[in-house]
């Protein structure tokens, strides 16, 4: 007769063997179904398609075709890394298109050039049926249900507003929903991470009173404050001053690549405390600090930032078309699934990746709009920057012309030379007459 202990042991062995058989059968069934890692990525990204924080396609349209959309087929645009076909292949459902003009336009025609870039993005996103221009978080959600690629417009560089609150407001009216405070040049009111341009240099004044007023006005309108390209001091000041969450639309981790465009851990913690978002940049020089990188290098940045501030503070901002070198395996916008596959291999959960792909950005956008709604009673800002701060020789001071002959008149050089020119012409005519008489 078997003891009770023997019966329990035999029973346990039976169940263990049965469980083992189930595991084997389950694995064989999984393999037989052909449900691969790629299938898992496709399924995940189909349910949670990507919102990409930064793409410079509009810049390439100007460089390559002077914004003549009639010369381009955006379903097959082989000269660049972005077209509609590849966006669809990469499961990109929403794209923040950067409106960028060179820093050399500051103090010149930056506003005009920015308007032209806004125009080309608006045309692109209304003339192609697979695109849809959106200006709110709800419109962004609706575009997903309609299976459209949502276009969001972001001005890249505060120099585009020429230190003018009305210009900022007019950009908003045209559909702009985000602006980075600087690009590679300082503005009269904010400091860049770059030292390329020796303009508006100042000490311990990374966000001036006018700069803080710009942040306040962006909060009031519901425009996302973007800190990519700003100095760390400017980013820190903006984080402290903004009432709404802010983003780094295309930046990576300074701890892994010590490039000035990347974000140090202490600033990441400030960003988390503000419920903000860092959208990781794919540019090789920002992820490996060299011209060459691979998908693993990019995934390392995701891992590090997740360790410091959590997956709920991370997004994706590829920077395609704005940079030259991209990692092997991430050469264009169709390759985003390779990154998600690598993160799955590193034990990121599907919930974490759903947040990274789109939910985190939607949360930030909705919170920016919530702050806007709280500020509806606040009047538009009438803060103006002083001429001493701007130091722009092209700025016209509007005042009525002085009466002719007034003691306060400041005659132009043309006015000063006019009597001499008339005297010379009179002498020439007299000499001509004398010669003809002879």
Residue in 250, 259, 297, 301 annotated catalytic:
250
Pairing between β-strand 176-180 and β-strand 131-133 as defined by DSSP bridges: unpaired
Tell me whether residue 250 is one of the annotated catalytic residues. yes
How is residue 293 annotated by DSSP?
-
Rg (CA), the chain: 29
Map out the domains of the chain as residue ranges: 50-377
Choose, from 156, 162, 226, 332, the residue flagged as catalytic.
156
Distance CA 302, CA 307 (A): 9
Predicted local distance difference test score (pLDDT) of residue 438 = 40
Residue 301: active-site member: no
CATH number given to 50-377: 3.20.20.140
pLDDT tens string 363-388: 999 999 999 999 999 999 999 999 98
pLDDT in tens, the chain (438 residues): 444 444 344 444 544 454 455 434 444 444 445 678 999 999 999 999 999 999 999 999 999 999 999 999 999 999 999 999 999 999 999 999 999 999 999 999 999 999 999 999 999 999 999 999 999 999 999 999 999 999 999 999 999 999 999 999 999 999 999 999 999 999 999 999 998 888 998 888 899 999 999 999 999 999 999 999 999 999 999 999 999 999 999 999 999 999 999 999 999 999 999 999 999 999 999 999 999 999 999 999 999 999 999 999 999 999 999 999 999 999 999 999 999 999 999 999 999 999 999 999 999 999 999 999 999 999 999 999 999 899 888 888 777 877 765 544 444 444 444 445 455 555 655 555 544 444
The pair of three-digit structure tokens given for residue 130, joined into one six-digit string: 């697979």
Among 107, 217, 226, 229, the one annotated catalytic = 229
Would you call 159 a catalytic residue per the annotation?
no
pTM, 2 dp: 0.84
For residues 158 and 165, give the distance between their C-alpha atoms in angstroms, rounded to a whole number: 11
**Containing H/E element for 315?**
strand 314-316
183 counts as catalytic = yes
Q: Is 162 a catalytic residue?
A: no
């Amino acid at each position: 007769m078997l003891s009770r202990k023997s019966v329990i042991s035999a029973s346990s062995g039976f169940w263990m063997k049965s469980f083992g058989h189930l595991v084997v059968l389950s694995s064989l069934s999984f393999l037989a179904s052909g449900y691969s890692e790629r299938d898992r990525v496709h399924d995940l990204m189909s349910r949670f398609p990507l919102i990409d924080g930064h793409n410079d396609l509009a810049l390439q349209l100007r460089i390559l075709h002077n914004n003549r959309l009639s010369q381009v087929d955006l379903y097959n645009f082989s000269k660049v890394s972005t077209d509609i076909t590849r966006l669809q292949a990469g499961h990109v459902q929403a794209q923040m298109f950067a409106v960028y003009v060179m820093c050399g336009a500051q103090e010149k025609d930056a506003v005009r050039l920015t308007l032209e870039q806004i125009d080309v993005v608006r045309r692109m996103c209304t003339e192609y049926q697979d695109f849809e221009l959106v200006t709110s978080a709800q419109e962004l959600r609706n575009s997903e249900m309609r299976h459209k690629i949502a276009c969001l417009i972001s001005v890249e560089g505060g120099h585009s507003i020429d230190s003018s609150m009305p210009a900022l407001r007019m950009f908003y009216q045209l559909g702009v929903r985000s602006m980075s405070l600087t690009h590679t040049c300082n503005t009269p009111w904010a400091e860049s991470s770059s030292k390329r341009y020796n303009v508006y240099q100042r000490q311990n004044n990374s966000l001036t009173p006018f700069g803080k007023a710009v942040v306040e006005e962006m909060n009031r309108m519901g425009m996302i404050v973007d800190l990519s390209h700003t100095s760390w001091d400017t980013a820190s000041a903006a984080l402290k001053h903004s009432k709404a969450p802010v983003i780094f639309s295309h930046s990576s981790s300074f701890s892994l690549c010590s490039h000035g465009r990347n974000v140090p851990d202490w600033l990441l913690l400030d960003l988390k405390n503000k419920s903000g978002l860092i959208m990781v940049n794919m540019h090789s020089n920002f992820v490996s600090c060299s011209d060459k990188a691979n998908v693993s290098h990019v995934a390392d940045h995701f891992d590090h930032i997740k360790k410091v501030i959590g997956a709920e503070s991370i997004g994706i901002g590829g920077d395609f078309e704005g940079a030259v070198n991209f990692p092997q395996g991430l050469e264009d916008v169709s390759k985003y699934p390779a990154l998600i596959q690598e993160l799955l291999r590193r034990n990121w959960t599907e919930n974490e990746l759903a947040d990274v792909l789109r939910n985190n950005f939607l949360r930030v956008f909705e919170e920016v709009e919530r702050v806007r709604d709280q500020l509806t009673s606040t009047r538009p800002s009438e803060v103006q920057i002083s001429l001493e701060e701007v130091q722009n020789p092209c700025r016209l001071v509007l005042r009525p012309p002085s009466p002719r002959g007034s003691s306060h008149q400041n005659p132009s050089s043309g006015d000063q030379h006019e009597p001499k020119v008339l005297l010379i012409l009179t002498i020439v005519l007299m000499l001509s007459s004398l010669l003809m008489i002879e």
